Chain A
């Protein structure tokens, strides 16, 4: 059974960098899947932050691209999110999730999600 678990500080000061990690269990992160980060401000909808693919390619939401970095640590079977220069607008529940594609190149959306972690940006 695939499980994802987010971890990181629940409180970040304005202008600092938000750093979160998603630990994956039940599956090797280096296999043919892609991994993503999604956030949800309190009371609002879902916003895709970015994804990293098995090839190492990364894709980011254009509105966040200048501040986001997603990376994978295969030795620890986890992937990470860094969001720099945060403001109160970055306060949200942050989710990590897994998507996959089959041998024919057909893509599937995020089918496994972490429980989410609330990050508050405040001084």
Chain B
């Protein structure tokens, strides 16, 4: 089973700043099958990034993903007020999916 570790646990930034979130896997993620989700309180997760770097339909280009193997990054280039939420990474390349524990992005 692949374990995903996200850092930091909480990130405090101001609107307009750049956010960098990390996701590290305990072993290599097959075919870069790494996704990022955004979740706001009381809502289901929303797919942002798949295949480590491809934006899902309708996702603004300020969201970008990068990485391969065991190290992945989600970058939000310029934070908007609606971006403050919890972000999860997920590996879906093996038949046993796993999620990271999440990074909370809060307003400073």
* Interface positions of A (Cβ within 8 A of B): 36, 38, 45-48, 51, 59, 61-62, 95, 99, 106-111, 113-116
Report the separation of the CA atoms of residues A12 and B102 in the bound assembly, to the nearest whole angstrom.
28
Report the separation of the CA atoms of residues A61 and B97 in the bound assembly, to the nearest whole angstrom.
8
Residues of A within 8 A of B102 (CB): 45-46
Report the separation of the CA atoms of residues A48 and B94 in the bound assembly, to the nearest whole angstrom.
13
Chain B binding surface SS class:
loop
Q: Known: A45-B101, A45-B102. Contact between A115 and B44, CB under 8 A?
A: yes
Report the separation of the CA atoms of residues A114 and B45 in the bound assembly, to the nearest whole angstrom.
9
Number of A-B contacts (CB under 8 A): 59
Contact mask for chain B residues 76-100; partner A; CB cutoff 8 A; 1 contact, 0 none: 0000000000001010110111111
Residues of A within 8 A of B93 (CB): 107
Known: A111-B57, A113-B45; 16 extra A-B contacts, CB below 8 A, are A36-B97, A38-B99, A45-B88, A45-B99, A45-B100, A46-B39, A46-B90, A48-B90, A48-B96, A59-B97, A109-B47, A109-B50, A110-B92, A111-B47, A111-B56, A114-B44
Q: How far is the CB of A27 from chain B (nearest CB, A)?
A: 15
Residues of B within 8 A of A48 (CB): 90, 96-99
Interface pair A113/B44, CB less than 8 Å apart: yes
B63 lies within 8 A of chain A by Cβ: no
Q: How far is the CB of B28 from chain A (nearest CB, A)?
A: 16
Residues of A within 8 A of B51 (CB): 108
Report the separation of the CA atoms of residues A48 and B90 in the bound assembly, to the nearest whole angstrom.
9
- Name A95's contact: one of B31, B44, B97, B101 (CB within 8 Å): B44
Residues of A within 8 A of B35 (CB): 109-110
Interface pair A110/B1, CB less than 8 Å apart: no
Closest residue of chain A to B102, judged by CB? A45
Residues of B within 8 A of A62 (CB): 1, 96
Report the separation of the CA atoms of residues A71 and B21 in the bound assembly, to the nearest whole angstrom.
36
